[in-house]
Structure 1
Amino acid sequence: MRICVFALDGAFDTGLTAILDTLCTANELAMLRGADVAPFDVTVVGTKSRIKTAQGMTMAVEPARDVEHSTQLPDWVVVPALNAKLPDVLVPALARRDVEDAKSYLRTWHERGIGIAAACIGTFVVADSGLLDGEEATTTWSLAPLFRERYPTVKLSDSRMVVESNGRVTAGAAMGHLDLALWFVRQASPELASHVARFLLIDNRSSQAQYIIPDFLAHADPLVERFERWAREHMSQGFSLESAAQALHVHVRTLQRRMEQVLGKSPLAFFQDLRIQRARQLVSNGCDLDTVATEVGYADASTLRNLLRRKLGRTVKELRSD
């Protein structure tokens, strides 16, 4: 499989190297296991001949124009994240000249049948090119509200770690670069992917849900932030959409619409997320489960126990050992 890693100035060093190191390790393990040829032919490309990463390291890369005119096209082009973790840094970065050039290359390569993949903030570059319009995708959970605002036609599923959709593959936050690289290895050999994961101590993470911090997302919008405060103050009393809307001085439909626009979920679903977050914190601190259930508004401990296992994929005992 021929893969071009499309690195731009200001690339997130960990993301870039995670992809390269994982694929390199896959090649090494495959050869040790008797493969005749390495399964991955990996090249780093850029809009120019050298890039400078976010940590100030320079790297020689193959110019993208050479790839465009090559007779041996890659099977996939992978876009690692830019080191732009906040909206006021990311939005200007997406308008940079080299990023605009990168988006043009991506569109051309896609038209020629090359698969396009990205992880973390790299998904914004692909989405900005228009290649995710109408497709399913994921992104770094912390910037999901911005992603929804900028790309309303993309079917965002930000709780998922890796999403494949018609020749596009996207992966979640920061360490999602590892999951994306493992996805490629799995296409070559599920058995090899298992060996690489064990060799590099990469956990099996199909979801970002357990890492999401609901109150961080709430700050993306004033009304959502006010609802988050109301929810925390009334958590033990249970959920009432009408009471929440009345307390916030908005119509029920207004609150529902804003929550869907910003977070992609209903007020009740977000209320449940806050409950889970609070319960997880209390359980980790050693609180009795009956006490925790009462504080977060559940009738009994068994209901909460089952919910924690279903939502977090972990038992109460495992949470206490954190």
Structure 2
Amino acid sequence: MRIVVLALDGLFDTGLAVTLDALTAANGLASRLMGGTPRFEVSTVGVRKRVRSGQGFTIPVQAITPDLKPDWVIVPALGATTPELLLPALERADVKRAVAQLQAWHREGARIAASCIGTFLLAEAGLLDDRPATTTWSLAPLFRQRYPRVSLDESRMLVPTHIGVTAGAAMGHLDLALWLIRTASPELAALVSRYLLADIRSAQAPYVIPNHLAQADPLIQQFERWARDHLKNGFSLQEAAGALATSTRTLQRRCQEVLGKSPLSYFQDLRVERAQSLLHGSGLDIEAIAAEVGYEDGATLRTLLRQRLGRGVRDLRVELL
């Protein structure tokens, strides 16, 4: 499998390094433990002759030539972690050249993979239009508003489609690399996972910080503050809209546009976050914690935690020790 890693100025150092390290480990383990030749021919290329990482390190890159015919192209994230940094970065000449090159590779049959903020380049190229995708959860509101044709689900860590695969935030680069290795050999992927002490995570949901997402929109910020003050009372859409001096329809629309979910779903996110905090530090039993977040019994909270986080109360307590 011929893999091209497309390096851009200001990229996320860890994203590039963990991708290359995982693929190198796969080749080494395939040779030493599985008696095979390396599975992956990896090249790091750039649209510029000189590329520097976000931490200022020079990245040796090869030029993109007409005879370069990758099976897969991997786009590591840019290190622009806020809308104020990312939006100007997307207008850079080298980024626009990279977007055009992705379109060309896609037309030639290459599959495209990106993690974290790298997914924005795929969306800029139009490769995700009318397709499911994920991205870094922290910039999901910006992604959703900028690319309305993409069916975004930032709760997922990996979303494969026929054009390639998108992965979630930051260390999602490692999840992506393990996924690619698994497409070549599940046995080899298991070895690499053990070697690197890493497993593919199925979801980003347990890592999302609701307060961070609320900052993308003034009305959502107000709703978040109201919701935190009313967790014990239960949710009322009419009451929330009235307290914010807006209509229920407007509140529902803004939540969907910014967060990709209903006001009730976001309210439940806050319940989950608060319950996790109490499981960690309060010493309360599950019934008392349920009352703190507006449920009459612990069974309902147990169900919500398992639905949202994929783990039960006992597992969550163990994880937090």
Same structural fold, with TM-score higher than 0.5 when normalized by the shorter chain:
yes
Mapped partners of 2:22, 2:279: distance in 1: 35
Q: Which runs of 4+ in 1 moved over 2 A?
A: 33-36, 313-321
Residue 255 (structure 2) pairs with residue 235 (structure 1): no
Shift of 1:277: 0.3
Secondary structure at 2:264 match in 1: helix
Listed as ranges, the matches of 1:80-95 within 5 Å are 80-95=76-91
Asked if the contact 2:178–2:200 (Cα under 8 Å) also holds between the matched residues in 1, the reply is: no
Please state if 1:311 is matched with 2:314: no
**Match of residue 289, structure 2, among 283, 292, 296:** 292
Q: CA deviation at 1:304?
A: 1.3
Residue matched to 2:48 = 48
Aligned to 2:25: 25
Which residue of the partner structure matches residue 247 of structure 2? 251
Gaps of 5+ in 1: none
Determine the C-alpha separation between the residues in 1 that align with 2:33 and 2:196.
Answer: 17
CA–CA distance in structure 2, aligned partners of residues 3 and 188 of structure 1: 12
- Contact 1:13-1:55 within 8 A present in 2 as well: yes
Q: Distance in 2 between matches of 1:34 and 1:191?
A: 9
Q: How many angstroms apart in 2 are the aligned matches of 1:308 and 1:267?
A: 18
Q: CA deviation at 1:275?
A: 0.3
Q: How far has the Cα of 1:49 moved from its partner?
A: 2.5
Amino acid at match of 1:62: Q
Pairwise CA distance, 1:144: 0.0
- Measure how far apart 1:36 and its partner are: 3.3
Note the residue ranges of structure 2 that are not aligned, 5 or more in a row. Answer: none
2-structure distance, mates of 1:187, 1:115:
13
Pairing 1:184–2:195 present: no
What residue identity is the alignment partner of 2:287? D
Q: Does the residue aligned with 1:62 lie in a helix, a strand or coil? A: coil
Alignment-mate amino acid for residue 232 of structure 1? R
Tell me the CA shift for residue 130 of structure 1: 1.4
CA–CA distance in structure 2, aligned partners of residues 237 and 216 of structure 1: 23
Identity over aligned pairs, percent: 57
For residues 1-322 of structure 1, the aligned pairs below 5 Å read 1-64=1-64, 66=65, 69-70=66-67, 73-285=69-281, 286-321=283-318, 322=320
Question: What is the TM-score when the length of structure 1 is the normalising length?
Answer: 0.96
Residue type of the alignment partner of 2:3: I
- Paired residue type of 2:84: D
